[in-house]
Every structure is written in structure tokens, then in C-alpha cells.
Chain A
Amino acid sequence: MQSLLRPAINKGTDTMKIIRSAGIGIIAGLIASVAVGCYRSPNTTWYEPHDYKGADDPLLSKLEQGGLHAQLDERVRAVQTDR
């Protein structure tokens, strides 16, 4: 009778071991994720006031080349003066 029950008892013990190790793994994972998620870098980003921090405007390089300015000046003479 006992020899008949031994495989079942062994099977139950193995299941418990698997459940226990899985539980430990889950708890460790939770602790790690909480620790990482709540971590806050002590380094701060310091910006100088009144320094534009956005993307570069491609128009700026066009205006610096000068050709566009001459074109705009010509336009002023063409359309802004009295007919």
C-alpha cells in the first residue's frame, strides 16, 4: 500500500517545490521592479534662463546665407510701394 502511495507523495512534494520557487521568483521580481521604478536620479538638469531649448529652425540657416534676404528686399520694393 505504502509503495503504491510513494509516487503520489513524491509528486506532491515536487509540485510544492515548484510552487515555492515560482513564488520566490515572483516576489523577487516585484521587489526589483519596485526598486527600479521608484528610483530617482539625484542629478538635476540645469538650464540657463532665456536660452532657447527647442529644435533648430531650418529657416535660420537660410536667412543667414543672405540670398533670401535680397529676395525679400526685392519683394518689398515690388509690392509694398505705391502703385
Chain B
Amino acid sequence: MARMKFLCDVERCIECNACVTACNNEHDVPWDINRRHVVTINDGKRGEKSISVACMHCTDAPCAAVCPVDCFYTTVDGIVLHDKDLCIGCGYCFYACPFGAPQYPEQQAFNVRGKMDKCTFCAGGPLPDNSPEEYRKYGRNRIAEGKLPLCAEMCSTKALLAGDGTLVSDIYRKRVMKRGGSMDFWRWEAAYPGQGNENRSENDKEK
């Protein structure tokens, strides 16, 4: 059985942040938490790339390795989930994760640390599927309904893929074969044909 994986096609991501909004809305995520975020490198320059990042559901998850109360578990298809009833909010997983996936809810009073929150691959947590309690703690359980994570399903350019790793890699491989090595016809070159930074306004260059 293959593992469930996210894959973000950086050549297609347009930094619209719709995946972030969809995630926050679907799971009623608190204001101070973003289970998914979009990172842009070389912002405003030629070769700019954006990538949508959330929990990558690691095979050997460092969050699970450092958790002192062992509240993390992995499903048979590789989705890394955690039990908020066990979590003590120590934040070790936050420091261990290279993607910044587990985050603190900071809505409570000082010194009330609460429970860590992270992307669940829309698979909820260890409570009855789609029960009000599960929704309150972990958000909606779309996997139990036979649906994929909403961030990937609603991505307008289909940059963000989610699902069985074999199928996802197959989709990506076909894309690369079709478009070749360069994607210049798609982004910067489409907006500024045949030129680099020189045709941008002075204000844009300063940014």
C-alpha cells in the first residue's frame, strides 16, 4: 500500500493562498494558526517560485520522535495524526518539524499552552469520524468520506496534489514529460516576453 502524500508543483503555484483559506474555512481553524502556508522565494524577481507547505506526513516523522507523551500515530497509509487529549502543548514537535507544521493556539491566557494543532490531511483524529467532538478538535474528516484534502481538491491551477503517492507521482511525471524542462512560457516569460527585470517599473524593482 502506497502512502498518502502532498506534492506542490512549484511551476504551477501562483501564490493565490486559496489552499490556506480553504483549509482554515473547512476546519474552522483558530485565527492564529495556519495549517498550510505559501512560501515564495525570489519574490518579484525573475525565477520567482512559490510553494504551498503543510505537514508533509513524514515517513520517519521528527515530531513523533521528540514527543514526550507519544501522542502521534501514523495510519496504514502514512498520514501522521496526533491525539489532542494526550498532547501537553510542550512545543517540542514545533521545534523538531522542518516545515513548521505543528503550531500553538495562542488564544488562551498567558501560560495556558493548550494543545498543538497541525494538518491532519483532512483525516481528523482519534474520535468517531465526523462527530461534533472530532470536528471541534481536529476539523472535518474528509478522508472518512472518501474525499481528498480540500486544499488540493480546490487548487485552481492543480499545483497542489494530494493522494496516493504512486498516483500523484504519476500525474506529476506526465506533466513534466509534456511541458519539458522549462516552464518559462507559463509565468515570467508570459508576462514579460523575452526580457528579464528591465521592463518592470522602478517601483516594482524596489520591492
Q: Which residues of A lie under 8 Å from residue B93 when comparing CB positions?
A: none
B71 adjacent to A80 (CB under 8 Å): no
Question: Which of A58, A62, A80 sits near B171, CB closer than 8 Å?
Answer: A80
B126 adjacent to A56 (CB under 8 Å): yes
Interface size on A, residues (CB 8 A): 28
A72 adjacent to B146 (CB under 8 Å): yes
Say whether A3 faces chain B, with CB atoms less than 8 Å apart: no
Say whether B72 faces chain A, with CB atoms less than 8 Å apart: yes
B86 adjacent to A59 (CB under 8 Å): no
Interface residues of A in 26-83 (CB under 8 A from B): 47, 49-60, 62-64, 68-69, 71-73, 75-77, 79-82
Q: Which residues of B lie under 8 Å from residue A50 when comparing CB positions?
A: 64-65, 70
Say whether B152 faces chain A, with CB atoms less than 8 Å apart: yes
A73-B164 CB under 8 A given contacts A55-B83, A59-B143 = yes
A76-B73 CB under 8 A given contacts A55-B83, A59-B129, A59-B144 = no
Q: How far is the CB of A21 from chain B (nearest CB, A)?
A: 49
Interface size on B, residues (CB 8 A): 40
B76 adjacent to A64 (CB under 8 Å): yes
Q: Which residues of B lie under 8 Å from residue A71 when comparing CB positions?
A: 146
B129 adjacent to A80 (CB under 8 Å): no
Cα-based distance from A81 to B155 in the complex (angstroms): 11
Say whether B163 faces chain A, with CB atoms less than 8 Å apart: yes
Q: Which residues of B lie under 8 Å from residue A73 when comparing CB positions?
A: 163-164, 167
Q: Which residues of A lie under 8 Å from residue B175 when comparing CB positions?
A: 82
Say whether B16 faces chain A, with CB atoms less than 8 Å apart: no
B73 adjacent to A75 (CB under 8 Å): no
Q: Which residues of A lie under 8 Å from residue B144 when comparing CB positions?
A: 59, 62, 68
Cα-based distance from A79 to B128 in the complex (angstroms): 27
B129 adjacent to A62 (CB under 8 Å): yes
Q: Which residues of A lie under 8 Å from residue B116 when comparing CB positions?
A: none
A80 adjacent to B152 (CB under 8 Å): yes
Residues 47-65 of chain B: 1 if any A CB is under 8 Å from the residue's CB, otherwise 0?
0000000000000000011
Q: How far is the CB of A1 from chain B (nearest CB, A)?
A: 74
A60-B168 CB under 8 A given contacts A73-B163, A79-B153 = no
